[in-house]
């Protein structure tokens, strides 16, 4: 309730659509933003910071979170897998880190995410016979090991106006340091180390899930791109890096591009462009076959002029060229030709009435501007529900 009340104080949040769902031990608050919020990422960052403050002040001990998940709408442009039947997860992780460093240099790449990492842990298997032999209390050994992960201030060094704090070093840096940790002493005064009473080994924790590529254990790297960037151009840059990186991976590992959205977009756009130009050629041929040459020439000239102006306006208003916009251009070819034929036909009719060419030219358009515009707007209105 405290968090929900706090959220509703933000002007960016829609009060009528924000709601919460509570189950045993978990509460989810679904936050909806107003349509006029232009930069939602800035709001989510602000919200994360503010919720950490409210957690420190108002939330009881033992509460995990709150966690702000604003990445549910992200779409992976590419998914790359590094796999190997006998490859070690740490070695695959190192290779993915190198690849990430290369991909971060591409301006269009917004986010890189690893999937499938396996957590490591240090397993300490105590030997009960050794504990009894050295008369070591197991709980005391556990406290000694836990204390090594605590960093405490031990003082400071003052030199004029400069003060440097000092802290005890408690973290283990290697498995050998854990083995050599002193946990007690024998009756004769000899130091007893952890390796004397237990077996210590580095193992992978029990995984919640595993990822495999072509039947081999693998790690995945997902690539997201900024909105409005040229995904095809960025895909070519990534493929260039992947070709260079493939020759650098060790024997027994292989790199696989599982999802390649830039390539899919490139193929689809190429197909649409080919169909678009085929439609233009087909319309022009039909016009020239069925109409007098001069009228057909005027109608055919309207197609490239209209398409060029349309592409210029799309770029001006920031509308991206994609499958829907290309399909729309194909759909309106008939409207463009129909309008041009109607105006040209009216021009010929005015000439037959004895009008001179200049008068017939401007009257042919002005007389039919309302009917032609009304018909065109009617057809546009029929497609508006697709936009909304």
pLDDT digit string (tens) for 22-81?
A: 888 888 888 888 888 777 778 888 888 877 776 666 777 777 778 888 766 667 889 999
What is the predicted pLDDT for the residue at 65?
77
The number of helix segments (H) and strand segments (E) in the chain equals 13, 13
C-alpha span between 1 and 6 (Å, rounded) = 8
Q: Token pair 């929900």 is at which residue?
A: 4
* Spatial contact of 197 and 127, defined as CB atoms under 8 Å apart: yes
* Spatial contact of 215 and 83, defined as CB atoms under 8 Å apart: no
What is the predicted pLDDT for the residue at 361?
83
Tell me phi and psi for residue 81, to 5 degrees. -115, 135
C-alpha span between 132 and 135 (Å, rounded) = 5
Q: Token pair 């060229």 is at which residue?
A: 321
C-alpha span between 180 and 61 (Å, rounded) = 36
Instruction: Please name which of 377, 347, 342 lies closest in space to residue 360, comparing C-alpha atoms.
Output: 347
**Three-state DSSP state, 224:** strand
* Residues of the chain falling short of pLDDT 70: 54-57, 71-74, 149-154, 167-170, 323, 387-388
What is the predicted pLDDT for the residue at 248?
80
Residues in the chain: 388
* Spatial contact of 156 and 165, defined as CB atoms under 8 Å apart: yes
- The residue ranges of DSSP E strands in the chain, in sequence order, are 19-23, 26-30, 78-83, 109-115, 120-126, 153-159, 162-167, 182-185, 191-193, 198-204, 212-213, 216-225, 254-260
- Report pLDDT digits (tens) over 284-314: 888 788 777 877 787 778 778 888 888 888 8
- The residue ranges of DSSP E strands in 37-105, in sequence order, are 78-83
Instruction: Please name which of 325, 283, 254, 274 lies closest in space to residue 80, comparing C-alpha atoms.
Output: 254
**Three-state DSSP state, 215:** coil
Tell if the pTM clears 0.75, that is, is over it. Answer: no
What is the predicted pLDDT for the residue at 167?
67
Q: Token pair 């007893």 is at which residue?
A: 192
Residue 340: other Cβ atoms inside 10 A? 22
Instruction: Please name which of 149, 118, 353, 107 lies closest in space to residue 234, comparing C-alpha atoms.
Output: 107
Q: What is the dihedral of CA 102, 104, 108, 114, to 10 degrees?
A: 100
């Amino acid at each position: 309730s405290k968090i929900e009340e706090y959220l509703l104080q933000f002007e960016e949040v829609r009060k009528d659509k924000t709601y919460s769902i509570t189950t045993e031990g978990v509460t989810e608050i679904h936050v909806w933003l107003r349509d006029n919020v232009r930069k939602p990422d800035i709001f989510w960052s602000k919200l994360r910071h503010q919720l950490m403050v409210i957690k420190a002040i108002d939330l009881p001990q033992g509460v995990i979170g709150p966690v702000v998940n604003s990445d549910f709408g992200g779409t992976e442009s590419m998914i790359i897998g590094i796999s190997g039947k006998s490859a070690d997860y740490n070695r695959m992780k190192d290779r993915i880190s190198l690849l990430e460093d290369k991909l971060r240099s591409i301006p269009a790449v917004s986010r890189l995410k690893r999937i499938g990492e396996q957590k490591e842990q240090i397993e300490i298997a105590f030997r009960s016979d050794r504990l009894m032999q050295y008369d070591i209390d197991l709980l005391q050994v556990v406290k000694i090991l836990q204390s090594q992960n605590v960093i405490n201030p031990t003082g400071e060094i003052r030199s004029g106006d400069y003060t440097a704090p000092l802290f005890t070093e408690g973290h283990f840096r290697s498995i050998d340091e854990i083995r050599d940790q002193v946990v007690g002493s024998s009756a004769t005064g000899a130091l007893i180390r952890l390796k004397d009473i237990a077996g210590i080994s580095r193992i992978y924790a029990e995984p919640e899930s595993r990822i495999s590529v072509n039947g081999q254990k693998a790690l995945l790297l997902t690539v997201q791109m900024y909105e409005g960037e040229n995904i095809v151009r960025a895909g070519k840059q990534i493929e260039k890096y992947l070709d260079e990186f493939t020759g650098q991976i060790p024997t027994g590992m292989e790199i696989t591009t599982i999802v390649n959205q830039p390539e899919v977009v490139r193929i689809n756009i190429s197909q649409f462009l080919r169909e678009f130009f085929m439609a233009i050629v087909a319309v022009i041929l039909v016009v020239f076959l069925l109409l007098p040459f001069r009228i057909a020439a005027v109608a055919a000239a309207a197609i490239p002029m209209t398409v060029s102006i349309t592409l210029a306006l799309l770029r001006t208003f920031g509308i991206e060229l994609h499958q829907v916009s290309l399909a729309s251009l194909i759909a309106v070819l008939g409207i463009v030709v129909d309008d041009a034929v109607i105006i040209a036909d009216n021009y010929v009719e005015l000439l037959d009435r004895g009008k001179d060419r200049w008068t017939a030219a401007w009257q042919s358009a002005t007389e039919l501007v309302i009917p032609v515009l009304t018909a065109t707007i009617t057809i546009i209105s029929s497609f508006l529900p697709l936009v909304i």
